[in-house]
Structure formats: structure tokens, C-alpha cells
Amino acid sequence: MALRLLRGKDGRLTAYAPVTGGVARWTEDRPGGAEWTGPWLIEVSGRLAGLTVVQSPEGYAHLVGLRHRPGGAGEPTRVDIVHATQFQSGRPLTAWHSLGTPHPKDPRKAERTGPPAAAVDSSGALRVFVRNAGGGVSARRQDPKGTWERWTDWKGMHVLGGMSAAATADGRLELLAPAGKGAALRWYQPKPGAAPKRGEDVPADARPDSASMVESSPGTLTHYWRDARSGEVMAWRPDSPAPAPLGGATGTGPVAAVRAVVDGHDCTVLAHQDPASGGLAVAAHPCEDEAAGVWWTPSGEQGAHTPALALDGQGRVVLAALALDGKLLVARQKTDERGLALQAWTRVGSG
């Protein structure tokens, strides 16, 4: 489960990481500052087997997790999706609310529910997506007033773990669900506020739990995943003739991505866990120009894992990760050097 890094309306960054007992949270004391408060434990009854954190246009942070709790003697594990909201940086969250699963009457099927993906569309509605027991996609929507609708079946089949969801700046939602048989399933809103529809399958032979995406130009989302055979990072957009290889075959898990200015150029910055270097690797390339070449550079201390990327209140790239001891590691973009140079890593709080 990846670390999540969000910038609030007040410009402060907040990092979220699943830990024993719930979710750890760290928050900048001031926008772009070196001091952080945390970790603060957001307690969850049971165990989170999956967590995503997404942000609304108002800056609200929605935490959505897949919770496992022990069943009674001879009974299956109790599984449900839980949700909580943080309305302001550094403030307490609402209580966790159970969304159940697409299989409320069949605990055995509920056990096969996959980890959630989520996104907020232009209307302010939060949608939560999971792989259901049949290998398709189920979704549940919270309307802008906070009312939850029922689970709906979005169909699909052979879906693997680790779907990826996001929305463009104007609120047009997309969902990518890696599936078997060398394809990924895609749903999208043709325009903000439109009903989501199924798109053509994406030519992606993707590893489970490797999908991610970022808005690489206004209204366009670039999707990333790892090739199932080579492990190489692949990039694809709806106008792409074919997925573009980006190297990074020694890495694991999804890549973190953020759009940023590097040397005055509009770039996509990428980071992933790289066992070959013992920590993380970082790369950057001009937005939507993967053919320009991508070079992965080792970064971070030994054992650093689950990277996240965001822009701070001063517009600098911030790379965050977890250390082996559970502390938060943070490195910021240098503004006085050419290229994507990062400052020395700082360690935040205790794990």
C-alpha cells in the first residue's frame, strides 16, 4: 500500500500511510516549511488491507480502505470498505463509515473484494471502485450532499488487483482496471458531469497493483503500469498508438507521478521503489513526450519504500517515502540547480 501525499487548500502537505492499528498522518507546520507534526494515528478497528486517499476540489481528503476483521469460530473474515473525511489540513477526521461490499449477503464472496480506488468528479461526487467476487468492477457513489447510493455493477471481467482512478482538473473521471488476457479495462466521462461509459480495452499486459495515472496536460490523463513480463514501466494515453516503454524494469509496484516545472519546462516527474538500488529511483521527462527518453536515478536511503510525489506550497516537487523504521522521509526540489535536483533527505517523526 503506497504512501499518499496531498496539498491542502492552505498550501500545507499531508502524508498518509497505513500502519498497524490504522493510518499514520504527518502534516507540514507551514506551506513549504521544513517542520512537520506527526505521526498522528487515525485508528481503525480491524486491519486495513488496502488504502487510498483522494482529494476533492474543496481540498477535502477522502480516506477509503478495505478492512478485514476476524470472524467468529468457523466463520469467514469480515470484510468491508470504510470511509472517513478530513475537511482541513491537520484537523481531526470524521468517524469511519462502513460502505459494506457489493456482496452484503455472502461473506465468502465479500472476502474476494479487492482494494479500493476512488476519485471525485466535477459535481463533487465521490466514487469508490472495487473488484468484486466475479472479477468485474463495482462502484458506490456519494452525492455532493454526502448521501451514499447503493453499490452498482459496472460489469467487466478478469480484473486483477490494484485499479487506478483519478479526475482531471475540470472533474472528468477515469478508471483503469488491469485485467487478464493482455488488456486493461477503462471507463471514463466523455465530458465533466456526463455519465461514465466503458471505453475500448487498453493494450496493457499489466502486473497487478501497478497502475497509476496523472493529468499530463489539461483534460488528459496519462496511465502507467508495469509490463507483466519485463517489469518495465509503460505509459499510455487515449491518443497513443501504443503504450510507450519508460524503462525502470528493476522497480516494483506503481510509480508515483506529478506534473511539475523543471528548468522552465513542463515535465512529468516519476518515482518508484527500486530494489536494485536499495531504495528509490526518480526520473523526469517532458510531459507527453516519452520518446525524449527517461533516465532513472537512484535517490533516498537504503530501504526507503512506498514513494509519493506532490508539489508544495511554493511549487517545488516533494518526494516522500517511508523508512524501514517507519519514519517519514522527505526531499524537496532544489531551485538553484539545473535538472531535477533534490535537497538532502530529512526524517520526520517516529514510526
| Predicted pLDDT of residue 351 | 43
With beta carbons less than 8 A apart as the criterion, state whether 61 and 86 touch. Answer: yes
Peptide bond into 31 cis (omega under 30): no
Question: How far from the centroid of its chain's Cα atoms is residue 186's Cα?
Answer: 17
In sign, the C-alpha dihedral spanning 147, 151, 156, 159 is positive
| Predicted pLDDT of residue 212 | 97
Q: Which domains does the chain have, with CATH numbers?
A: 55-61+111-348 (2.120.10.10)
Q: Is the pTM of this model over 0.85?
A: yes
Residues found in the chain: 351
Instruction: Give 96's DSSP letter.
Output: P
Question: How far from the centroid of its chain's Cα atoms is residue 253's Cα?
Answer: 11
End-to-end, the C-alpha distance of the chain in Å comes to: 16
Peptide bond into 39 cis (omega under 30): yes
Helix or strand holding residue 21 (H, E): none
Rounded to whole angstroms, the Cα distance separating 329 from 304 reads: 8
Closest CA to 175 of 186, 167, 183, 159: 186
| Predicted pLDDT of residue 64 | 98
Name the one residue in this structure whose C-alpha cell is 516549511: 33
Rounded to whole angstroms, the Cα distance separating 343 from 121 reads: 35
| Predicted pLDDT of residue 349 | 66
Q: Residue 338 CB: number of other CB atoms within 10 A?
A: 8
Q: Please report, for residues 8, 61, 88, the alpha-carbon distance to residue 56 in angstroms, rounded to integers and kept in the order given.
A: 10, 7, 12
Q: Please report, for residues 52, 83, 97, 102, 310, the alpha-carbon distance to residue 94 in angstroms, rounded to integers and kept in the order given.
A: 16, 9, 9, 23, 24
| Predicted pLDDT of residue 161 | 82
Q: What is the pLDDT along the chain (351 residues), one digit of tens a residue?
A: 679 999 999 999 999 999 999 999 999 999 999 999 999 999 999 999 999 999 999 999 999 999 999 887 778 889 999 999 999 999 999 999 999 999 999 999 999 999 999 999 999 999 999 999 999 999 999 999 999 999 999 999 999 988 999 999 999 999 999 998 889 999 999 999 899 999 999 999 999 999 999 999 999 999 999 999 999 999 999 988 899 999 999 999 999 999 999 989 999 999 999 999 899 999 999 999 999 989 999 987 888 999 999 999 999 999 999 999 999 999 999 988 888 889 999 998 644
Rounded to whole angstroms, the Cα distance separating 209 from 172 reads: 23
Secondary structure (3-state) at 185:
strand
Rounded to whole angstroms, the Cα distance separating 87 from 64 reads: 14
